[in-house]
DNA sequence: TATGAAAGAACGGCGAT
DNA sequence: ATCGCCGTTCTTTCATA
């Protein structure tokens, strides 16, 4: 049940490149393909590995602009907050939504074609909502992502 | 070169579930396996598909806490900003870093074991840096992610 | 471009160590 | 828990329409 060094190695490899085949994986961690296959299967079965996703070039989908929306909510009741988050993430242009402590209540990462599209997005889906008291929009100049989570402890 | 309806369908499917096999994919878009295979290969060759990554349960890696750090920089010269971003994303606990317009300069998404770990992270890697004039830390209560990008236009 | 068939490679389960 | 074996399945190429 506890993960060992080999498990962590496999997890790191698959986070960085899920296209790797079992044979390569096995070689990379110094295991026979069959043993490696079994370990990876166990990681799926135990829920350590949750899913896998392809990453796509946003430009090729017509996305020319990304932004963060910093949102303040008027009410902080559970119902209000939950449904706001739920509806936010159901908007296609929304990539992620974070409910946070501090000055802002929610941060939303959105993708848009251009500034006109972004404006409509902000106005139609966020500024206009009754539970939203304030929206601050920040254009993303550069985004750096890391796909590998640290293993702590 | 331009993407058609089938390409978009394949892209959507692979973003949501990269574990899908070519055979399933083919059935899902109504194509023979060989035709489907060729289209997916073309998407890789043309750079529409960039990479694929496994998603891991953070709890299983000892991560009990996520936070956003809102950072203000003293200098906004290219060199300062670039190297700050570069070094930020090279910290294992950093999941993403965004250079943005507006009140804050950089938003960093970090993962930590607990609040003590988060404190050290903030103090050692961010507050202490000479180019950083201010760090605001927000705990993430809830994070919602979407893996499928919208196709616009 | 899409397809079906054929060759090649990988998967996935089993028994032994 | 690891390994090698082997039948099954999928991938991948190619000739054809």
Domains and CATH numbers, chain A: 5-45 (1.10.10.10), 58-140 (3.30.70.920)
Query: Tell me, what's the pLDDT at B134?
Result: 97
- pLDDT digits over A27-54, tens only? 999 999 999 999 999 999 999 999 999 9
Identify from B51, B54, B88, B112 which residue to disrupt to test chain A contact, counting A C-beta atoms within 10 A and taking the largest count. B54
- Those of residues 8-47 in B touching chain A at CB distance below 8 A are 11, 14-19, 46-47
A34 touches strand D (CB under 7 A): yes
Q: In chain B, which residues have their Cβ closer than 8 Å to the Cβ of A58?
A: 149
CB contacts, 8 Å: A50 with chain B = 54-57
Section A56-63 average pLDDT: 98
The pLDDT of residue A55: 98
Nearest to A53 among B15, B57, B89 (CB): B15
**pLDDT above 90 for B128:** yes
User: In this predicted model, what pLDDT tens digit does every residue of B54-112 receive, in sequence order?
Assistant: 999 999 999 999 999 999 999 999 999 999 999 999 999 999 999 999 999 999 999 99
Report residue B50: phi and psi, to 5°.
-105, -40
Task: Report the pLDDT value the prediction gives residue A153, as an integer from 0 to 100.
Answer: 83
Residues B100, B103, B106, B110, CA torsion sign: negative
pLDDT at B1 (0 to 100): 79
pLDDT at A80: 95
CA distances from A121 to A69, A124, B126 (A): 10, 5, 33
B12 φ, ψ to 5°?
-65, -45
Q: How confident is the model at residue B138 (pLDDT cuts 50, 70, 90)?
A: very high
Residue B153: which pLDDT band, with cuts at 50, 70 and 90? confident
At residue A66 the predicted structure's pLDDT band, cuts being 50, 70 and 90, is very high
Answer yes or no: are the C-beta atoms of A96 and A143 closer than 8 Å.
Answer: no
Count other Cβ atoms within 10 Å, centred on residue B61. 19
A136:B63 CB<8 A: no
List protein-proximal bases of chain C (any atom < 7 A from a CB). 1-5, 10-14
Interchain contact A123–B (C-beta under 8 A)? no
What's the pLDDT at A1? 78
* Mean pLDDT of the A87-95 span: 98
The token duo for A44 is: 């799926």
pLDDT of residue B73: 97
Structure letter (DSSP) for residue B49: E
B/e letters for A84-103, b = 16+ CB within 10 Å, e = fewer, are bbeebbebebbbbbbbbeee
Report the alpha-carbon distance of residue B48 to residue B45 in Å, rounded. 8
The Å distance, CA of A153 to C1' of D10, is 39
Directed axis angle between helix B22-29 and helix B33-45, to 10°? 100
Place of tokens 């992620």: A96
Q: Among A67, A58, A59, which Cα is nearest to A118's?
A: A67
pLDDT digits (tens, 9 = 90+) for A122-141: 999 999 999 999 999 999 99
Q: Which chain B residue shows the shortest CA-CA distance from A52?
A: B54
Return the closest nucleotide (C1') to the Cα of A35: D2
Query: Would you call A149 and B63 a contact, using CB atoms and an 8 Å cutoff?
Result: yes
- Is the minimum distance from the CB of B17 to strand D below 7 Å? no
Residue the block writes with tokens 């943005």: B100
Question: CB–CB of B53 and A53 under 8 A?
Answer: yes
């Amino acid at each position: 049940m506890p993960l060992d060094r080999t498990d962590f190695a496999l997890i790191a490899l698959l986070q960085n490149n899920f296209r790797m085949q079992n044979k390569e994986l096995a070689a990379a961690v110094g295991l026979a393909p069959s043993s490696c296959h079994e370990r990876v299967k166990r990681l799926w079965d135990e829920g350590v590995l949750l899913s896998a996703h392809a990453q796509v070039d946003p430009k090729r989908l017509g996305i020319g602009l990304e932004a963060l929306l910093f949102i303040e909510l008027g009410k902080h009741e559970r119902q209000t907050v939950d449904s706001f988050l739920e509806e936010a993430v159901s908007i296609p242009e929304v990539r992620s939504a974070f409910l946070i402590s501090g000055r802002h209540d929610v941060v939303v990462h959105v993708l848009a074609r251009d500034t006109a599209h972004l404006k409509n997005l902000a106005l139609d889906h966020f500024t206009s909502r009754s539970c939203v008291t304030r929206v601050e929009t920040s254009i993303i100049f550069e985004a750096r992502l890391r796909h590998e989570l640290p293993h702590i402890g």
